[in-house]
């Protein structure tokens, strides 16, 4: 048990604590390595928040009514969209350019599973003039750390890039992706997502990443504050 004298001294120290910074100077000192790490983490959080926000807006975009096109598949330019799953199976989305009148559309023909990652599955070409039905929708590019990553298989792509197809076709390509629902060339169709639920889920993710970025900025600034005595 402390004596009364020590108790009085302790109480006085507590009372003086709020005024202990009087006569001291405050400054911000940035440590290069620590600041670089924090800025990198903050940048990743902001990029993820932006990506999730764009996905939320994408799911709120109304889907156009079912439309019909009559034309020809350009089978030799079929590509395989990587990282697709359906009913627990891994596979690809089959993307084939389709010539309709004087325009070229990228058609998502649906899902195809694979057994061997090193070999692309075989897709039966569709010849002649055919009729397809479906809807057009904007495409959201996924978040990738390296957009220039070269795949060992030339026809396998990590995201749909209209400019890539414009270069190999040497003509403009429609920016929206046509999702086929019936007609020639249809593979296993992807299920339609629920726009309302998807929008709010991705918006929640965007808010979480944004809050993490704000917390990172706060921690970085607080850790950089330096206290010293005024001369």
- Mean per-residue pLDDT of the chain: 80
Indicate the pairing of strand 79-86 with strand 89-100.
Answer: antiparallel
Q: Say if residue 134's pLDDT is above 60.
A: yes
**How confident is the model at residue 77, as a pLDDT?**
95
More confidently predicted of 131 and 195? 131
* Residue 132 contacts residue 106 (beta carbons within 8 Å): no
Structure tokens at 94: 């089959």
* Residue 100 contacts residue 69 (beta carbons within 8 Å): yes
Percentage of the chain exceeding pLDDT 70: 74
pLDDT in tens, 88-124: 899 999 999 999 988 999 999 999 999 888 899 999 9
How far is residue 153's CA from residue 81's CA, in Å, rounded to a whole number? Answer: 12
Q: Helix, strand, or coil here: 141?
A: coil
Residue 61 banded pLDDT, cuts 50, 70, 90? low
Q: Say if residue 4's pLDDT is above 90.
A: no
How far is residue 109's CA from residue 94's CA, in Å, rounded to a whole number? Answer: 5
| Residue 4 Cα distances to 9, 10, 50, angstroms | 9, 10, 60
Please give the DSSP secondary-structure letter assigned to residue 134: E
Model-level pTM? 0.59
Q: Say if residue 160's pLDDT is above 80.
A: yes
> In 3D, which of 61, 76, 184, 189 has the Cα closest to residue 133?
184
- Residues with Cβ within 8 Å of 202's Cβ and at least 6 positions away in sequence, in order, are 52, 53, 55, 56, 59
Domain residue spans of the chain:
25-61+192-231, 64-139+150-186
Cite the DSSP H helix spans in 61-177: 162-169
**How confident is the model at residue 24, as a pLDDT?**
60
Q: Say if residue 215's pLDDT is above 70.
A: yes
Q: How many CB atoms lie within 10 A of CB 49?
A: 20
Residue 99 CB-half CA count within 13 A: 14
**How confident is the model at residue 92, as a pLDDT?**
95
**How confident is the model at residue 227, as a pLDDT?**
63
How far is residue 40's CA from residue 165's CA, in Å, rounded to a whole number? Answer: 33
Percentage of the chain exceeding pLDDT 90: 40
Q: Say if residue 78's pLDDT is above 90.
A: yes
Q: Of the segments 52-66, 184-198, 201-215, which one has the largest average pLDDT value?
A: 201-215
More confidently predicted of 23 and 43? 43
More confidently predicted of 6 and 225? 225
| Residue 131: strand pairing partners | 70
Q: Helix, strand, or coil here: 146?
A: coil
């Amino acid at each position: 048990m402390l004596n009364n004298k020590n108790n009085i001294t302790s109480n006085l120290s507590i009372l003086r604590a709020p005024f202990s910074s009087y006569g001291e100077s405050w400054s911000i000192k940035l440590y290069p390595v620590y600041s670089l790490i924090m800025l990198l983490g903050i940048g990743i959080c902001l990029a993820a928040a932006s990506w999730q926000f764009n996905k939320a807006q994408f799911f709120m975009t109304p889907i156009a009514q079912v439309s019909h096109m009559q034309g020809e598949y350009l089978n030799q330019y079929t590509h395989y969209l990587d990282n697709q799953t359906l009913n627990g199976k891994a596979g690809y989305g089959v993307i084939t350019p389709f010539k309709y009148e004087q325009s070229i559309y990228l058609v998502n023909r649906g899902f195809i599973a694979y057994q061997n990652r090193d070999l692309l599955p075989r897709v039966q070409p569709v010849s002649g003039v055919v009729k397809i039905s479906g809807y057009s929708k904007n495409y959201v590019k996924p978040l990738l750390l390296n957009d220039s990553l070269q795949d060992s298989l030339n026809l396998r792509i990590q995201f749909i890039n209209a400019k890539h197809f414009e270069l190999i076709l040497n003509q403009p390509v429609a920016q929206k992706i046509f999702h086929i629902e019936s007609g020639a060339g249809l593979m296993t169709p992807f299920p339609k997502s629920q726009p309302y639920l998807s929008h709010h889920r991705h918006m929640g993710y965007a808010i979480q990443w944004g809050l993490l970025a704000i917390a990172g900025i706060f921690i970085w600034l607080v850790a950089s504050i330096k206290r010293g005595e005024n001369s």
